[in-house]
Amino acid sequence: MQEVYKNIYHLGDSGCSVYLINTHSQDGLVLIDCGMQLNMIKKISKIGLNPMHIKHCIITHFHIDHIGACADLKDYNKQVKFYAHQLDATPIEERGYDRETVASWYGVNYKPVKLAKKFVGEIEILKFGNLEFNCIHTPGHTPGSISVLLEIEGKKVLFGQDLHGPIIPGISNFNDYQNSLRKLLELNADILCEGHFGIFQPASEVQRYINSYIE
């Protein structure tokens, strides 16, 4: 567990990297994705945070390595609300989409969760405490993939979970993916919190990383 920047933590990796933001407000703690193990999320007690204070979880896309622990988290802490893009909503909310979530490939039985809000726009803002979570539609890897941009004390922190792809036949769209990467470059983020390859900074490193996937 590592503090990436003020009140932003990298909890570790279980399937994907899971990030947590402390809003120091009524909105409590916010997760970016869940990963696959509730136990990893619970370890925040080691740094003095209470897993019962998690109020929101922004889901970047429907893959099992990002959503596997959602139902267990909801069972453990009933007040958690989940958010995702409408184009990825059905496999998150319903059973029978193991091909989309790749749950079958991981040999996992995915338990669905209901979304409190589904994003439809190009950018939708969730305001938790004084923080504005800009949820940006970045389709390609999946139709409803989003990236989350947060500005804290002048630093732009980008949560871009699966910027490396991969492109999955029948699910992904390569042209959309490339356009989304270009859109993310224009944000000029100072810090990139990635889903499988860790944290990149300063801005020049973020640009280099995103550029490496643009053809």
* The two structure tokens encoding residue 184: 């993310």
Give the CB-nearest residue to Zn ion. Answer: 63
Helix segments in the chain, DSSP class H: 38-42, 64-67, 70-76, 89-93, 98-101, 103-106, 174-185, 203-211
Number of residues that bind Zn ion (CB under 5 A): 5
Cis peptide before 169 (omega within 30 of 0): no
What is d(CA 55, CA 102) in angstroms, rounded to the nearest whole number?
27
Cβ proximity to Zn ion: between 62 and 133 the closer is: 62
Amino acid at 201: Q
- CA angle centred on 201, ends 161 and 60, rounded to 5°: 15
The single residue among 8, 11, 16, 38 that binds Zn ion, judged by CB under 5 A, is 16
Strands 191-194 and 155-160: parallel
Cβ proximity to Zn ion: between 19 and 128 the closer is: 19
Instruction: Identify whether the C-beta of residue 184 lies closer than 8 Å to the C-beta of residue 160.
Output: yes
Cβ proximity to Zn ion: between 28 and 35 the closer is: 35
Cβ proximity to Zn ion: between 53 and 164 the closer is: 164
Site track 139-168 with Zn ion (rule: CB under 5 A), x = hit: -----------------------x------
Least gap, CB of 112 to Zn ion (angstroms): 17
Interaction residues for Zn ion, span 60-89 (CB under 5 A): 63, 65
Cβ proximity to Zn ion: between 49 and 163 the closer is: 163
Q: Which residues bind Zn ion (CB under 5 A)?
A: 16, 63, 65, 162, 195
